[in-house]
Amino acid sequence: MKRLNTLLFVLIIIPFSLMGQSLSFSEAVENLKQGNKKLKGFEKQAEVAHLNYQATKGLYFPKISLNANYIHMNDNLYLNFNKYRNRLANFIGLNAGILGDWRVQFQEQNISRVSADLVWPVFTGGEIRAGIKANKLKVNLADAETNKLENTLISNLVERYFQTQLAKEVINVRKQVLDAAKKHLYNAEKLEKNGIIAPIETMQAKTAVADAERELLSTLKDEELAKTTLIGLMGQQNVQLDLITPLFEVRDLKPLTYYQNLAKENYPDIVKARIKKEMTKQNKALKKGKFIPDVAIVGKKYLYTENLPITEPDWYVGVGMKVDVFEGLKKIKEYKQATALSQSIDLITTQAQVDIQTLVKKYYTEILKQQEQIESLEKSISFAKEVVRVRNKAFKEGFATSVDVADANLYLASIKIKRLKALFESDKALANLLETCGDSMLFLNFTR
């Protein structure tokens, strides 16, 4: 008891300026989006995918490059006619040396040149278009991955935020139990002093106080742990928080079919499968394009030359074509692979749409179940309060024991805690339901 009093005293004397800042659930969501490092990492990956998509758009435009080179050969290049000189000298009976050197230089050994080169694909069998569309789909896929993670984190936030609120409310219940136990102990000591009850009853009352203190200390630790995990999820450190959005009863649910249809369209894995299906379509177009020749406009213009070979013009433009004639049936196999992948995604998506209906129904039913529990427990609380009143009165009149009073108070506390847990489970099931529907932000509508 001394330990508990010390803890409560420390909490009371903390300066107001050091007390926690108020934090609603909507503010917690914003903190999560701003502070969670994993979410930030996924957002960066989506940004990379978008930049890559922007980069691939450049494939539609001509590629212009500057090229420069310097070549030094071991000797100048000549056309050698000396063998004809030798034949002529032999024919007329002269010394070949008299006729001189019949080599003609046509290229000096040092060559320098700078050129501008152009390559402009004008037809690739749809490969460029398919490649750009595929990169756009990669952007959509990265966005879908980010959205999936965000929804998952919001569900985790719901659990940790309202788990903290649950611990906070349970603390209030435990304090009520402790106050009731202390009040009962005070009455027991008075009755024992007046000789109305035996000392054993007072001992039982003291035991009830000790048990209540222990349970309160345990719950205080639960709240501290819940707050720590909540702060960590939001990517913050050394922050004192005062949560202001209470546990709530889920109301205004739409019909089950509404959420099933929403999940069918927006469930993250189904969205990703839909994108991958479109990616396989573009992949097939890409593979198909490899069977068709590539056509490109090419050109070159020398900007600076020194000793340019006589075989090279100062500039040229033209059209080039490339077609792969045989690659060991690689293209055919890749096209068949893309077709099979598309079919497998169709089958997986169809099954996922069936499974998701069951998952939505599970969470929806859980919410309805907890609503029934809350309604029933509220009736039980009224009954338990009456039992406590009757037991206290009977104890004062000598018709009930300390154990009877303690049991009545504990029963009332247990019913209150069960109701709080039912609220928590209902809120958590709602978060899971909306995550499955692909839009966890809808949870904020229920907290207002």
Instruction: Answer whether 67's CB lies under 8 Å from 57's CB.
Output: no
Q: pLDDT (tens digit, 9 = 90+) per residue, 391-428?
A: 989 988 878 888 898 899 999 999 999 999 999 999 99
Amino acid identity of residue 305, one-letter, is T
Looking at residue 438, what is its pLDDT?
94
Lowest-pLDDT choice from 113-127, 164-178, 367-381, 431-445: 113-127
Looking at residue 177, what is its pLDDT?
93
- Report the percentage of the chain scoring pLDDT > 70: 93
Strands 294-306 and 315-322: antiparallel
Mean pLDDT of 335-341: 74
Q: Count CB atoms within 10 A of the CB of residue 269.
A: 16
Take residue 409 and report the two structure tokens written for it: 């108070």
Q: pLDDT (tens digit, 9 = 90+) per residue, 248-289?
A: 999 989 999 999 999 999 998 889 888 988 888 887 777 776
Looking at residue 229, what is its pLDDT?
93
- Rounded to 10 degrees, the C-alpha dihedral 421/427/430/435 comes to -110
Looking at residue 14, what is its pLDDT?
39
Looking at residue 10, what is its pLDDT?
43
Looking at residue 90, what is its pLDDT?
84
Q: Is the pTM of this model over 0.75?
A: yes
Looking at residue 2, what is its pLDDT?
46
Q: Please report the domains of the chain, with CATH numbers, ordered by start residue.
A: 18-66+124-293+327-447 (1.20.1600.10)
Q: pLDDT (tens digit, 9 = 90+) per residue, 323-334?
A: 777 665 666 676
